[in-house]
Structure 1
Amino acid sequence: MRSTPVLRALLAAALPLGALAANGQSTRYWDCCKPSCGWRGKGPVNQPVYSCDANFQRIHDFDAVSGCEGGPAFSCADHSPWAINDNLSYGFAATALSGQTEESWCCACYALTFTSGPVAGKTMVVQSTSTGGDLGSNHFDLNIPGGGVGLFDGCTPQFGGLPGARYGGISSRQECDSFPEPLKPGCQWRFDWFQNADNPSFTFERVQCPEELVARTGCRRHDDGGFAVFKAPSA
C-alpha cells in the first residue's frame, strides 16, 4: 500500500501519543520460542515474522507450531541485537504499549534513546516481533541471547538449554562461550555495546523500519512508510 500525505496524517492521528513519543521501560530475555508476531493475522503486515528450525534455518511455514508448545518453530539467531556504531544498535523486542493491542505494534519499529545506566545517550532501533503477558505499560523486553528465558523455555527442547537465571540470564561475557555459535555475537553484544546495562529506561518514538531489520524478519507493516526514517547519531 503506497503512503500519501493524507494517509500519513490519518495514521498518525489514529495512534495514541504513547506510540509516537513516550517514556519506556526495558527488560531482557531470550526464550527461543517462535515470535508471537510470527503467526498469521497479527495486524496489517506483508507477512508474519520468520521463525527458524532447531538448527537456526529459516522456516517458511507460518503455521508451524512453536517449539515452546512441542512444535518445530523457534526464534531465529539473527533476531539478536548488533552494533552499528558506538552510539547506535539494531535489534528486536517483545513489546506492550499503553492503550494498544499486539496488532497495533507487530513489526513496527521504535527508536529507544536510553536515559539511564551506562548506555545513557545511546540509541537502539528495535522491531517489535512479539509480546508477553508479563509485560507492563510501554515496556520493551529486548531480545538478547542469555538474557533469561522468562515465562517460557524453548531453549531446552531446541538445544538443551542456556546457562543463567530464568529472569536476568547470565552475568559474565565469558559465559557466552558456551552458547551455540549463532547466538554468541548477540550474547557478547550485551557486555560490549550494551555495557551490561540492567534494564535501563529510555524515551521512544516510532520510526520507519531500517531495511536491515526487515531483512531479518521478513515483516513490514503497511503503514511503515508514514513514519520518519531514523537519523542515526554519529559514532
Structure 2
Amino acid sequence: MHLTLKTLALVALSTGIASVNAVSGSGKTTRYWDCCKGSCGWSGKAAVNQPIKSCDKSDNPLADMAAKNGCESGGQAYMCSAQAPWAVSDTLAYGFSAVKLAGGTESSWCCACYKLTFTSGNAKGKQLIVQATNTGGDLGNNHFDLAMPGGGVGIFNGCTNEWGAPSSGWGAQYGGISSRTECDSFPEKLKAGCYWRFDWFGNSDNPDVTFEEVTCPKAITDKSGCIRNGQTPT
C-alpha cells in the first residue's frame, strides 16, 4: 500500500520511542549482508550531521567519508560489523536496513529510523526499529532489506574481500545461510548478528510489516554516527 502522510504531535510509544511527522504504511522485508559501504555513507545524500560510518577491511571506522566503496575495484570502505541487529528485549530489537519507500528519495529516508511491526512469520507481533543506511535498485516500494550477517550478499559481495567469505558469500547469494550452526564459523564480530536471525527473529523468512517513522534511538545512532538534522536521538 502507498505511504500515508501523518501529521502527528510527538507521542510516546510503548517502545519509549517518539513518533515524528512521518510516513507510515505496510511493506515487505528481505534480508542481506553484502559488506559494501552503504549508500547513505556519502555526503550530500540527506540533511544529516554526517554520513553513516564505514569501516576498513579490519573493521576500523574510517575518518575519510569519501573513501571508495570496497565493493568496487580498489575500494577501501565496507559495512561495519556494528551495523548488525541486536535484541533489546524479547519483543523489541534494533538494527539497520536498506530502504526504498514509495514517493520518497534517499534524501528523505537516509539515516531516518522506522519502527517495523512484523505481521507474518515467526516474528509476528515483534517490533524492530531500523535506521536506513542503504538503498538498492532491486528493491520494490515500501521495502526494507534488513541487514543481518549471513543474510545473503545479493547483487554485490564485499564479504570475500573484507572477511574472507566464500566467493559467493555465505550460503545462497539471495537468502544466505540456512541454519544457526553455520554462524559458528563466522568471524567473531559477526556471530552475534548471525545468531540473532535464528534466535530473536525466529528465522522468519521475509515477513510482512507495518511501519512508521520514529525518532532514532541513541543506541542506534551511536553505532552509525548519523543523525538527521532537527532530530535528537532518545
Scaled by the length of structure 2, the TM-score of the pair is: 0.87
Q: How does 1:20-59 map to 2 (within 5 A)?
A: 20-59=23-62
Deviation at 1:103, TM superposition (A): 1.1
Distance 2:24 2:78 in 1: 32
CA contact 1:108–1:224 (8 Å) conserved in 2: no
Amino acid aligned to 1:223? G
Q: What's the C-alpha RMSD, in Å, of the aligned pairs?
A: 1.6
Q: How does 1:50-199 map to 2 (within 5 A)?
A: 50-70=53-73, 71-161=75-165, 162-199=169-206
Distance 1:196 1:39 in 2: 32
SS for the counterpart of 2:71 is: helix
Deviation at 1:157, TM superposition (A): 1.5
Deviation at 1:160, TM superposition (A): 2.1
Residues 43-63 of structure 1: per-residue CA shift (max 9 Å, x gap):
100000000111111111101
Amino acid aligned to 1:192? D
Deviation at 1:163, TM superposition (A): 2.1
Deviation at 1:208, TM superposition (A): 0.2
Distance 1:133 1:142 in 2: 15
SS for the counterpart of 2:193 is: helix
> Identity percentage over the alignment?
59
More helix by share: 1
Aligned length: 212
For structure 1, the 5+ residue unaligned runs are 1-7, 10-18, 230-235
Scaled by the length of structure 1, the TM-score of the pair is: 0.87
SS for the counterpart of 1:59 is: coil
Deviation at 1:21, TM superposition (A): 1.6
Runs of 4+ in 1 over 4 A off after TM superposition: none
Distance 1:119 1:178 in 2: 25
SS for the counterpart of 1:170 is: coil
For structure 2, the 5+ residue unaligned runs are 1-7, 10-21
Paired position in structure 2 for 1:4: none
SS for the counterpart of 2:88 is: strand
Residues 45-94 of structure 1: per-residue CA shift (max 9 Å, x gap):
00000001111111111010011013111000010000000000000000
